[in-house]
Amino acid sequence: MPTGFPTRALAILLLILLPAPLVIVVGASFSPRALLEFPPPGFSWRWYLEFLSTPAWLTAFGVSAAIALASAVLTTLAALGAALALQDAPSRLRAAAETAILAPLLFPHAALGIGFLGWLILAEMNGTGWGILIAHLVLCAPFAYRPIAVSLAQIDRSLPEAATILGAGPGQTFWRITLPLLQPGIAASLLFGFIISFDEVTVSMFLVGPEVTTLPVTIYARLNDSADPVVAAISSILILLTAGLVLLMDRLVGLRIFVDVEEEGRRPAA
Amino acid sequence: MSGRRLLLFAPMGLLIAAFTLSVAGLLWSSLSHGGPALYAELLMDAGIQRVLWRTVWIAVVTTAISALLGYPLALFLARSPNRNLWLILVISPWLVSIVVRTFGWMVLLGNRGVINNALRNWGLLDAPIRMLFTPTAVLIGLVHVFLPFMVIAILSSLLMQDRKLEEAGRILGGTRWQTFTRVTLPLSMPGVIGGCSLVLLMATGAIVTPLLLGGLRDRMLGTQIYSEIFQIYNFDRATAMAVLLLVTALVLVAPLRLLEARIRHRLEGV
Amino acid sequence: MLPTPTSGRLLLDTVSRSFGALKAVDGVSLDIAPGEFVAFLGPSGCGKTTLLRIIAGFERADAGSLILDGRPLTGLPPNKRDVGLVFQNLALFPHLTVTENISFGLELRRESAPEIARKVEEAIALVALQGLERRRIQQLSGGQKQRVALARALVLHPSVLLLDEPLSALDLKLRRQLQQELKTLQRRTGATFVFVTHDQEEALSMADRVAVFNQGRLEQFGTPQALYGQPASRFVAEFVGDANIRDAAQLAPFGITLPPETLLVIRPEDCAIGAAADAAPVRREGTVDAIDFIGPHARLRLILDGLAEPWLALCSGSAAAGLEVGARSVLGFDPAGAATLKAGA
């Protein structure tokens, strides 16, 4: 299957089909009528205004954003600590710890949702933002750890040594050399964490409650009843937000990190 | 582990503990509340057997289609000079919430959806074709959701390859096709198998896409668990089914993981 | 005017370091004088880099002591040793500019801004990098990077500057040029330089004294002339330049008698070929086995009649002009001018 015509044709078809449903959602969101139609019969901001004037939607958006922000920052700090702790660890210890960190990737999310629900009920944290946050932290941890560990491994070991021989103590070496060089990994970890938490639905749908729910779960609940253009409007906001973050990632780090992290991530688990 | 290292690792340790608690709690409660009798009851239930079988075949077919479509796309991306541009088209949909992507297919496939409307407007149809709420819709949705995972996994192993090996294959007299089947493809197998096990795992545990595109009749294990909890309120049965899901996923993925380990061992000697 | 070196005396006393069963550094003692340019020479894995890292403080010694200007180094972390190091891969900070790399150590010492600026400017002038101050490291050529690494280490005026094969990544021409610059720089700064290399030509041409290592042991420490003229061991004789090393049995056909347990080291350039061999005290006929023309010289390998071991000889291109493989010729040398070795050394 060298990249001859059939391969290229199929690839380009897929590259059109992958974003197609999203383009249609965005298009349908501008419909002035109450029916989902594509192409939309006209243009209006009606459904966006409805989203902005419905407190329940705005609250769900706020909850999701807050949880996503907290997940991104906290998992990045945890991953940074773990990566530094494991950097010089004996290889067996390191392999064991990495398997544990990456383990949530190997479990079906439906089963994980039930697992979290079980002990969160006992801890009386089901249906709270804290319960959802804990689950999101666990789910984001592998995605935070991998880019930071990859970045750390890419730092030439002689650089901290060079800083030391030029007179830097361990703290100065960390702040002046290691941390600045980890920037791509940290940026990727923050963006990964935010996006994954903000979009998460499969596990969250087990953990939300009458008082606290996230935006994707609210969208899901609404879709179960009726698919109307207000959902399309909210979905469009999510799509644009995600696309914006992807472009930001491209600027800051380069999209190649998604690919590099993938290879690195499968290695220890293999 | 030294004290400093332990301290650095502690936050990640807490997340690992939260994950372990979920899995252990799941196993414990399914054994203590229902026990073997509940499992026996589940496995003898013809309805559950059908759900289990449907889960397996949908997951396997989703994985196979994703691999067959994903490989050419990954190959195209690996060879394209505009890779970064194309990657945006793969990664952006990948990171948009599953709910939103599934919603896009609802808009496309519904009885009054984009496809049926278009066909009717062109006079090709009198009555709409039923596409939504069929296993085919679930397959389309799942492939769309998981294809980017497969593409990234394969792409990463293609990019890891030394292009010189292909040149060596050609200079030794191989045609483009021979070089592909004897050099490129075997070397990228870890990526293909890694991508397959990831997709298989996630497809087995999918909830949102089968619920929204498959409706209530064609259930998968994940959707069954969800309705067991939120419609029938039978936590014990849901827990036992979650364990069943976990075991199914692991049984499906285990051979792939073994295969991947063996191939990696042969290729890299690790 | 050249500064008179007053600091930089480095004493190593039976320093050892093992990794498991491997003795990477085995009882090495050295006395390096202030302002001296010393090369650590040996094949890869001989322990020279480990020893350098012990001096820098990145590896600990299992036994032995290190004293720099009367100060024991044992237990001191690398940042407190007054030792500079130029890394093999240079280890320039990729996120900093040329100036920021060079000022890094000065900033850590909390020197005043004008002081830092003055010293950085001086260091940049010393290595002739004017005009590149604001460049990022990735924008520099190999030779420029080399100079930044030197400036970054020298700006702190360390008593001892350690250099870990810093030229190994460069092409030959640039390498020769930087060798000269390094030597000049060393004389101008007056610092003690310890230069690790596996290239014997580099070591001999640059260093005041060369320490030859093999399997963790110091084989010989001396001037390049001493190393070449009076090698202390068979290893040194073979590693430093080419040599015909012969025992009593192999020399008997020449009519030479050697004391037992003694070897004679005859350098190829001390062997005369053809007509030139007539004047040599001992000589023997043989067949030319191989000829390499290297610039103005020719390197010959001869199988002498009745002797199994081939002989190496270096002669002028004109002397070898008539010769070809298979031709008969005569090889002669003066045993009085050859160095002797104890067998087993």
Asked whether the beta carbons of residue B16 and residue A100 sit closer than 8 angstroms, the reply is yes
Domain around B62: 45-268
**A117 to chain B: nearest residue by CA?**
B22
What whole-number distance in Å separates Cα of residue B62 and Cα of residue B200? 8
Within a 10 A sphere around the Cβ of B268, how many other Cβ atoms?
A: 10
Q: Are A64 and A198 in contact (CB under 8 A)?
A: yes
Residues B111 and B183 in one domain: yes
Tell me what pLDDT residue C85 has: 94
Residues B133 and B250 in one domain: yes
Assign B31 a pLDDT band (cuts: 50, 70, 90): confident
Contacts 24+ apart (CB under 8 A), B252-259: B252/B56, B252/B59, B252/B60, B252/B200, B252/B201, B252/B204, B253/A106, B253/B197, B253/B200, B253/B201, B256/B193, B256/B196, B256/B197, B256/B200, B257/A270, B257/B197, B259/B193
Q: Which residues of C touch A172 (CB under 8 A)?
A: 108
The predicted model gives C140-157 an average pLDDT of 92
| Residue that finishes a domain, picked among C239, C271, C303 | C239
Distance (Å) from the alpha carbon of A142 to chain C's nearest alpha carbon: 27
| pLDDT > 70 in chain A, percent | 96
* CA nearest neighbour of C10 among C79, C85, C65, C80: C65
Tell me what pLDDT residue C35 has: 92
Question: How distant is the alpha carbon of residue A221 from its chain centre?
Answer: 21
Residues C215 and C262 in one domain: no
Q: Which residues of C touch A162 (CB under 8 A)?
A: 85, 87, 91-93
The predicted model gives B234-252 an average pLDDT of 90
Residues B113 and B17 in one domain: no
Tell me what pLDDT residue A270 has: 28
What whole-number distance in Å separates Cα of residue B191 and Cα of residue B154? 4
Assign C241 a pLDDT band (cuts: 50, 70, 90): confident
Residues B181 and B65 in one domain: yes
Residues C205 and C296 in one domain: no
More confident residue, C51 or B269: C51
Asked whether the beta carbons of residue C104 and residue A163 sit closer than 8 angstroms, the reply is yes
Average pLDDT of the residues of chain C: 90
Asked whether the beta carbons of residue A199 and residue B95 sit closer than 8 angstroms, the reply is yes
The predicted model gives B217-237 an average pLDDT of 85
Tell me what pLDDT residue B139 has: 94
Residues B19 and B73 in one domain: no
Domain assignment of residue B40, yes or no: no
The residue type at C73:
L
- Testing the interface with A: which of C85, C137, C162 to mutate, by most A Cβ within 10 A? C85
What whole-number distance in Å separates Cα of residue A160 and Cα of residue B59? 48
CATH 1.10.3720.10 fits A54-269, yes or no: yes
Asked whether the beta carbons of residue A224 and residue B76 sit closer than 8 angstroms, the reply is no
Q: Which two three-digit tokens encode residue C335?
A: 């045993």
The predicted model gives A78-107 an average pLDDT of 92
Residues C235 and C251 in one domain: no
Q: Which residues of B touch A10 (CB under 8 A)?
A: 69, 72-73
A2-11, B13-22, C207-216: segment of lowest average pLDDT: A2-11
CATH of the domain at C313: 2.40.50.100
Residues B19 and B98 in one domain: no
The predicted model gives B71-89 an average pLDDT of 90
Assign A1 a pLDDT band (cuts: 50, 70, 90): low
C308 burial (CB, 10 Å; 0-12 / 13-18 / 19+) is: exposed
| pLDDT > 90 in chain B, percent | 37
More confident residue, B114 or A135: A135
| pLDDT > 70 in chain C, percent | 98
Q: Which two three-digit tokens encode residue A132?
A: 């959802």
Average pLDDT of the residues of chain A: 88
Tell me what pLDDT residue A263 has: 62
Residues C143 and C286 in one domain: no
Q: No. of H helices and E strands in chain C? A: 9, 18
Most confident of A32-36, B167-171, C215-219: C215-219
Q: Which two three-digit tokens encode residue C5?
A: 């070196």
> Does residue A265 register a pLDDT over 60?
no
Assign C301 a pLDDT band (cuts: 50, 70, 90): very high
Q: Which residues of A touch B113 (CB under 8 A)?
A: 36
Residue ranges covered by each domain of chain A: 54-269
Assign C1 a pLDDT band (cuts: 50, 70, 90): very low
Neighbours of chain B (3+ CB pairs under 8 A): A
Domain around C271: 245-342
Domain assignment of residue C138, yes or no: yes
Sheet harboring C297-304: ordered strands across? C272-273, C328-333, C282-294, C297-304, C311-316
Give tens-digit pLDDT for C244-280.
Answer: 999 888 888 888 888 888 899 999 999 988 888 888 8
Residues B95 and B1 in one domain: no
The structural domain count of chain B equals: 2
Q: Which of A159, A167, A169 sits opposite C93 (nearest CB)?
A: A159
Assign A228 a pLDDT band (cuts: 50, 70, 90): confident
Provide the ipTM.
0.88
Tell me what pLDDT residue C33 has: 94
- Testing the interface with A: which of B63, B107, B133, B155 to mutate, by most A Cβ within 10 A? B107
Tell me what pLDDT residue B144 has: 94
CB pairs under 8 A between A and B: 294
Domain assignment of residue B116, yes or no: yes
Distance (Å) from the alpha carbon of A179 to chain C's nearest alpha carbon: 11
| Residue that finishes a domain, picked among C182, C210, C239 | C239
Tell me what pLDDT residue B59 has: 95
What whole-number distance in Å separates Cα of residue C69 and Cα of residue B51? 81
Question: How distant is the alpha carbon of residue C286 from its chain centre?
Answer: 36
The predicted model gives A133-152 an average pLDDT of 93
Main-chain dihedrals φ then ψ at residue B117, nearest 5 degrees: -60, -45
CATH of the domain at C211: 3.40.50.300
- The answer for C 36-65 residues in CB contact with A (under 8 A) is 56-58
Residues C196 and C336 in one domain: no
Residues B91 and B186 in one domain: yes
The structural domain count of chain C equals: 2
Residues C54 and C105 in one domain: yes
Residues C189 and C207 in one domain: yes
Assign A250 a pLDDT band (cuts: 50, 70, 90): confident
CATH of the domain at B122: 1.10.3720.10
Domain assignment of residue C5, yes or no: no
> Does residue B52 register a pLDDT over 70?
yes
Residues C150 and C167 in one domain: yes
Give tens-digit pLDDT for B132-162.
Answer: 888 899 999 999 999 999 999 999 889 888 7
Give tens-digit pLDDT for B164-190.
Answer: 887 787 878 777 888 888 888 888 898
Tell me what pLDDT residue A268 has: 38
Residues C202 and C261 in one domain: no
Pairing of the two strands C37-41 and C192-197: parallel
Return the SS3 of A200: coil
Residues C272 and C169 in one domain: no
Domain assignment of residue B83, yes or no: yes
Give tens-digit pLDDT for A171-191.
Answer: 999 999 999 999 989 999 999
Work out the widest C-alpha separation in chain C, in whole angstroms.
Answer: 77
Residues C278 and C211 in one domain: no
The predicted model gives B84-100 an average pLDDT of 88
